Amino acid sequence: MTAPSLEIVNLSVAFGSDRARVQAVDNAGFRVAPGESFGIIGESGSGKSTILRAISGLNDEYDGSVLIDGRAAPRPRNKAFFKNVQMVFQDPYSSLHPRRMIRATLMEPLEIHRFDRRDERIAQALSDVGLAPEFAYRYPHQLSGGQRQRVAVARALLLEPRIMLLDEPTSALDVSVQAGVLNLLNTLRLSRGLTYVMVSHDLRVIAHMCSRIAVMTQGRIVEELSADDLRSQNAEQDYTRELITASRVALAAE
Amino acid sequence: MTDTPVTSSRTSLRAWLEAPAASTPRQARAQAAWRGWKRLLANRAALAGLIVLILLVVIAAIGPLLTPYSPMSQDLSVRLQPPSMLHPLGTDDLGRDIMTRILYGARITLMMALLVALIAGPIGLIMGATAGYLGGWFDIVAMRLVDIFLSFPSLILALAFVAALGPGIENAVIAIALSAWPPIARLARAEALTVRKSDYIAASRLQGASSTRLILRHVMPICLPSVVIRITLNMAGIILTAAGLGFLGLGAQPPSPEWGAMLASGRQFMLTNWWLAATPGAAIMLVSLAFNLLGDGLRDVLDPRDE
Amino acid sequence: MSEPLLEVKNLRVAYPSAHGYSDALRGISFALGREKLGIVGESGSGKSTAGRAVMRLLPPKARVTADAMQLSGVDLLNASERKMRDIRGGRIAMVLQDPRYALNPLKTVESQIVESCRIHTRASRSEARDRALAMLEDVRIRDPQRVARLYPHELSGGMGQRVMIAMMLIPSPELVIADEPTSALDVTVRGQILDILNERVEAQGAGLIFISHDLPLVGDFCDRVLVMYGGQVMEELAAHELARATHPYTRALNASLPPLDRRVEELIVPEHDPEWLSERRA
């Protein structure tokens, strides 16, 4: 494997203190090569989103290390880190500021990082995610869920990051809309050489999007396998097999 | 023929405002304002409140032109006249025309209400939004301060300040503002608490936004509508407190035509010459009611969540 | 199929909007026996509206019309509100998506099930308690005595949904409407809940309307499927034929799902054809 773009070593996250302490992530570790798409699958409470929040710096209280290109990510995260690593959230209905025009939302990262040619970049970012330039002048409530998620992707892309963290980016969308957003994410990754870390509870989505997949349950990564293994149900751990079976057929007993 | 361009420009303005998609930032903002305006028009009570307040502003601006009298000039030969053609609202115990005094008093009332809103609103908004977003020690200190202020009835608090600062309109304004900001801060904090964990704040943090930027550009715009609504609704209370201070002789001083002071001096003639107290009283009530109605209407307009 | 349990003919629902009325349902018809009928569609297709219209749970401003809407002879469209209160929960039960919002947070599991039982049957308190415990056992809760004393926030998602099923099915309804009953659950729990739902509905001989956005799930679980789009029924077919559907919309939905058995480069994004909405009006 080439030098990893992102590496997680012995990552542990705990919430609460003393008796109410919950170990949300327990000694997790993985490496993601440049241009690779790495998936984390797990059920609710498995700690998969907590890992993303720790990587992004939204939650700074973690043990272990997050390495970007071999160097530990600064704590707290600085602007240079955010320029490199961006995130797309699960629910496009809550990840865009409801009272700000799309243009203002997209302008913000450019202002913070002092980019030039701002209007040009916004128009380009919108067209990259398949939206007409007029969308800049709308408010979030005037957009559909799929359009909002495209705007959220455009916002993440404006800083030209190399690593994208995707937190269930399509679970709030209809399947027909999901297809378009997943295609877009795949195209963007290939054309820009982006590295993805994607979290999902949906086996279909994760197998389609990622080449390697970590299976998480109760805060631990129990197994790491390839998408082909996942499709051919070639899993070592019982939990992984159970997850695959449950996702393939609706009725466990039938 | 001549009016064709006018109507066409009017219809095109309407089309511009109601176009399904805006093509410039200005158009988008204008459209948002237009939709809010239409919602306000749909609310009859709020519209009535707005009209009364616009009238008040107009009166405050051009009041002196509407009357031949001066608010201060005394004419003891016509003291305590009932309403008549010459004096539509009668005269007071010093023979001053009451309508003239009400018109001039509108200026004072409006000025006080506006000043209080301009002082208390921003202080409350900044304190509340910052405390709610930052949390920690700042939140604890700010909120205990608010608790201390809230534990006194606002009129008593204002009385105490005026007693310390000395009577007069300026001091009354400061006193009322000091007692008006804590509830606003508490409201803004509650709103800030609901948004600080939201995804769009997290998304901005991940763009590298500083806390100042987040509070000013993200948290405050969310708190602003409820603060505006609250201040509008409080306006009635502010006017009443101002009038109350005037009434107690701690706000505007005679012979100033402040409504509360007028009410106070008319009090001793209440049983024999009702118009002395009733007219400023009615003015206070009308304006307070108008602010309340408008505040309720603004709640519909400024809350785009159920659009 | 025996005589239909539920018969709906040309059901229309419209909401007042800025420009007159906007249609949420544009004339849907279906009949249901003692079987599992799936209603699938995307958000805005009207599938939930259909379920709520049958229970007459739509907001009062909604304009509901139909040529017929009958539950084994009872006219649901014109029944009085008082009569509907008996029917709701008694003869028609509804299982909702998220038990956290559908159960009363201040009451124990037992008291909620007992209440549901006593409102609709003439059971005495102790009788109702016995039946509640038996019902909890029926939904495969291992330790009903303990679970009965818990409050909703102490239950996991799967456990909560079992309690909800127990509560809804204890008055032995003839028709159960389940609106996305497993969407809030983890996949590994989903199978058990569907199993339990299936078993209870069959044991009581009730009809089931299963509303979901999940095509493969409905295909596996139901007997028959209505595919809805834009407030209309696009297609009605046997569930096992869902993978071989003929209507372009159903086919597009199937194709847009990432496949589990092979790798594809690009997913097919459905194109919505306005023709689909006009064909039935003609």
Mutate: best of C199, C267, C276, partner A, most A CBs <10 A: C267
- pLDDT for A223: 92
pLDDT digits (tens, 9 = 90+) for B164-223: 888 888 888 888 888 889 999 999 999 999 898 899 999 999 998 999 999 999 999 888
**pLDDT score of A253 more than 50:** no
Q: What are the backbone dihedrals phi and psi of residue C245, each rounded to the nearest 5 degrees, phi first?
A: -65, 155
Angstroms from B195 CA to nearest CA on chain A: 10
Mean pLDDT of C111-130: 87
Measure CB to CB from residue A252 to each of C157, C191, C252 and give the nearest one: C191
- Chain B residue numbers with beta carbons less than 8 Å from the beta carbon of A90 are 199
Neighbouring-strand partners of residue A199:
A40, A167
- Chain C residue numbers with beta carbons less than 8 Å from the beta carbon of A231 are 260-263
Say how far apart CA C197 and CA B71 lie, in whole Å.
82
Specify the 3-state DSSP secondary structure of A247. Answer: helix
Mean pLDDT of C260-270: 83
- pLDDT for A181: 92
Instruction: Assess whether the previous peptide bond of B182 is cis (omega < 30° from 0).
Output: no
Query: Cβ distance C140 to C162 under 8 Å?
Result: yes
- Chain C residue numbers with beta carbons less than 8 Å from the beta carbon of A183 are 266-267, 269
Strand order in the sheet with A220-226: A85-88, A163-167, A195-200, A37-42, A212-217, A220-226
Q: Where do the domains of chain A lie? A: 6-94+162-248
pLDDT digits (tens, 9 = 90+) for A73-104: 998 899 999 999 999 999 888 899 988 889 99
Averaged pLDDT of chain A: 89
Specify the 3-state DSSP secondary structure of C211. Answer: strand
B33 found inside a domain: no
Chain B 161-200, residues with CB within 8 Å of chain A CB atoms = 198-200
- Chain B residue numbers with beta carbons less than 8 Å from the beta carbon of A98 are 200, 222, 304-305
Q: Do C187 and A180 touch (CB under 8 A)?
A: no
B139 found inside a domain: yes
Mutate: best of A60, A86, A142, partner B, most B CBs <10 A: A142
Between B254 and A210, residue with greater pLDDT: A210
**pLDDT score of B23 more than 80:** no
Query: Cβ distance C102 to C164 under 8 Å?
Result: yes
pLDDT digits (tens, 9 = 90+) for C164-217: 989 888 888 999 999 998 888 888 888 888 988 898 889 888 999 999 998 888
Closest CA to A136 of A146, A150, A115: A150
- pLDDT for B219: 92
Chain B 210-229, residues with CB within 8 Å of chain A CB atoms = 213, 217-218, 221-222
**pLDDT score of C44 more than 90:** no
Say which CATH number the domain at B265 has: 1.10.3720.10
User: Tokens 């008055």 map to which residue?
Assistant: C171
Say how far apart CA C186 and CA C126 lie, in whole Å.
35
**pLDDT score of A17 more than 80:** no
User: Tokens 């209160």 map to which residue?
Assistant: C85
Q: Do A109 and B207 touch (CB under 8 A)?
A: yes
B43 found inside a domain: yes
Between B90 and B285, residue with greater pLDDT: B285
Closest CA to C219 of C201, C237, C232, C202: C237
Establish if C188 touches chain A: CB-CB under 8 angstroms: yes
Between C107 and B94, residue with greater pLDDT: C107
Mean pLDDT of B16-33: 80
**Binding-site residues on chain A for chain B (CB distance < 8 A):** 56-58, 78-79, 82-83, 86-87, 89-91, 94-101, 103, 108-109, 112-113, 134, 136-139, 141, 152, 155, 159
For chain A, counts of helices (H) and of strands (E): 9, 10
Q: Residue B2 — very low, low, confident or very high, per pLDDT cuts 50/70/90?
A: very low
Query: Cβ distance C213 to A174 under 8 Å?
Result: yes
- pLDDT for C140: 87
Q: What are the backbone dihedrals phi and psi of residue C165, each rounded to the nearest 5 degrees, phi first?
A: -65, -45
Say how far apart CA A136 and CA A100 lie, in whole Å.
11
Which chains have 3 or more CB–CB distances shorter than 8 Å to chain B? Answer: A
Pairing of strands C6-17, C20-32: antiparallel
- pLDDT for B46: 86
Q: Residue A254 — very low, low, confident or very high, per pLDDT cuts 50/70/90?
A: very low
Q: State what percent of residues in chain C have pLDDT above 70.
A: 96
Buried b (16+ CB within 10 A) or exposed e, C133-162: bebbebbebeebeebbeeebeebebbbbbb
- Chain A residue numbers with beta carbons less than 8 Å from the beta carbon of C215 are 175
Question: What domains appear along chain C, each with residue ranges and CATH number?
Answer: 1-91+177-282 (3.40.50.300), 99-172 (no CATH)
**pLDDT score of A244 more than 90:** no
Least confident of A10-19, A63-72, C217-226: A10-19
**pLDDT score of B1 more than 60:** no
Q: Residue B304 — very low, low, confident or very high, per pLDDT cuts 50/70/90?
A: low
B32 found inside a domain: no
Name the CA radius of gyration of chain A, rounded.
Answer: 18
Measure CB to CB from residue B199 to each of A57, A78, A94 and give the nearest one: A94
Q: What are the backbone dihedrals phi and psi of residue C106, each rounded to the nearest 5 degrees, phi first?
A: -100, 0
B142 found inside a domain: yes
Mean pLDDT of B277-289: 89
Answer left, alpha or beta for residue C140, where phi above 0 means left and psi between -120 and 50 means alpha: left
Instruction: Assess whether the previous peptide bond of B255 is cis (omega < 30° from 0).
Output: yes
Query: Cβ distance C153 to C143 under 8 Å?
Result: no
- pLDDT for A249: 65
Q: Which residue of C has its CA nearest to A46?
A: C186
Q: Which residue of C has its CA nearest to A42?
A: C186
- pLDDT for B41: 83
Measure CB to CB from residue B202 to each of A58, A79, A103 and give the nearest one: A58
Strand order in the sheet with C207-212: C92-95, C175-179, C207-212, C36-40, C224-229, C232-238
Q: Residue B3 — very low, low, confident or very high, per pLDDT cuts 50/70/90?
A: very low
Q: State what percent of residues in chain B have pLDDT above 70.
A: 95
B136 found inside a domain: yes
Cα–Cα–Cα angle for C134, C140, C142, rounded to 5 degrees: 85
Specify the 3-state DSSP secondary structure of A175. Answer: helix
Task: Give the number of A-C residue pairs with CB atoms closer than 8 Å.
Answer: 95
Exposed, middle or buried by CB within 10 Å (0-12, 13-18, 19+), for B89? buried
pLDDT digits (tens, 9 = 90+) for A33-53: 999 999 999 988 888 999 999
Q: State what percent of residues in chain A have pLDDT above 90.
A: 57
pLDDT digits (tens, 9 = 90+) for B50-99: 998 898 899 888 878 888 888 887 878 877 878 887 888 888 888 888 88
Mean pLDDT of C258-282: 75
Question: Rounded to whole angstroms, what are the CA distances from C199 to A15, A251, B87, C217?
Answer: 40, 12, 88, 17
B31 found inside a domain: no
Q: Do C157 and A44 touch (CB under 8 A)?
A: yes
Q: Residue C281 — very low, low, confident or very high, per pLDDT cuts 50/70/90?
A: very low
Domain A6-94+162-248 matching CATH 3.40.50.300: the answer reads yes
- Chain B residue numbers with beta carbons less than 8 Å from the beta carbon of A134 are 21-23
Say how far apart CA A169 and CA B30 lie, in whole Å.
33
Structural domain of B135? 38-306
B96 found inside a domain: yes
Answer left, alpha or beta for residue A218, where phi above 0 means left and psi between -120 and 50 means alpha: left
User: Tokens 């509650």 map to which residue?
Assistant: B190
Mean pLDDT of B277-301: 86
Q: Which residue of C has its CA nearest to A203?
A: C260
Measure CB to CB from residue B22 to each of A78, A89, A137 and give the nearest one: A137
- pLDDT for B67: 81
End-to-end CA distance of chain B: 41
Mean pLDDT of C110-118: 89
Say how far apart CA C98 and CA C161 lie, in whole Å.
7
The 3-state secondary structure of chain B reads CCCHHHHHHHHHHHHHHHCCCCCCHHHHHHHHHHHHHHHHHHCHHHHHHHHHHHHHHHHHHHHHHHCCCCCCCCCHHHCCCCCCCCCCCCECCCCCEHHHHHHHHHHHHHHHHHHHHHHHHHHHHHHHHHHHHHCHHHHHHHHHHHHHHHCCCHHHHHHHHHHHHCCCHHHHHHHHHHHHHHHHHHHHHHHHHHHHCCHHHHHHHCCCCCHHHHHHHHHHHHHHHHHHHHHHHHHHHHHHHHHHHHHCCCCCCCCCCCHHHHHHHHHHHCCCCCHHHHHHHHHHHHHHHHHHHHHHHHHHHHCHHHC
Closest CA to B46 of B180, B306, B229: B229
Tokens representing C206? 């009730």
